[in-house]
């Protein structure tokens, strides 16, 4: 009679799984790919924030034009864009004021948008802008209702 039991050869047992070295190499490759992806996406977040600022500025500009159409003037420097949220108490007070915005808008970096009347950079009667990522007013990263690098 023949013994029909099957026995695994010792080499077959060793090659049945992954070695620690193989697992470490795979995890290293996955880590490198993940880090590269995160690095590449970082730039997209900044572009998305700048695009949001441009959309916000367009919306606020539209509301300022509506304010001007109703009251025959844009808000003064002292009144600012707060005049779109609360009725101004300083002169000249608007005769046909209505609330045009729910709340004071903030840029993606948490700062309120800036308003300057009369304009110094824009061709519109007012400058409307965000101080940008660094939060410093008047430098190159400001995003406004003017062409980049332009002055009036």
Domains detected in the chain: 20-144 (3.30.700.10)
Number of C-beta neighbours around residue 127 at 10 A: 19
What CA–CA distance (Å, rounded) separates 50 from 108? 8
What CA–CA distance (Å, rounded) separates 115 from 95? 21
Apex CA 62: angle with CA 115 and CA 146, to 5°? 50
What CA–CA distance (Å, rounded) separates 150 from 121? 7
* pTM greater than 0.85: no
pLDDT truncated to tens, each residue of the chain (152 aa)? 555 556 655 555 555 678 889 999 999 999 999 888 888 777 778 888 989 999 999 999 999 999 999 999 999 999 999 999 999 999 999 988 999 999 988 999 999 999 999 999 989 999 999 998 888 888 888 999 988 755 54
């Amino acid at each position: 009679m023949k013994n029909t039991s099957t026995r695994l050869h010792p080499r077959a047992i060793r090659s049945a799984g992954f070695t620690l070295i193989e697992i470490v190499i795979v995890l290293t490759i996955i880590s490198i790919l993940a880090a590269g992806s995160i690095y590449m996406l970082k730039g997209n977040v900044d572009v998305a924030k700048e695009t949001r600022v441009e959309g916000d500025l367009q919306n606020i500009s539209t509301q300022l034009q509506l304010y001007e159409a109703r009251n025959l003037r844009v808000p003064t420097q002292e009144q600012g864009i707060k005049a779109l949220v609360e009725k101004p108490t300083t002169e000249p007070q608007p005769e046909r004021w209505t609330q045009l915005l729910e709340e004071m808008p903030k840029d993606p970096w948490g700062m309120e948008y800036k308003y300057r009347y009369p304009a110094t950079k824009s061709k519109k009667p007012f400058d409307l802008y965000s101080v940008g990522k660094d939060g410093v007013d008047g430098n190159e990263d400001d995003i406004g209702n003017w062409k980049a690098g332009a002055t009036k």
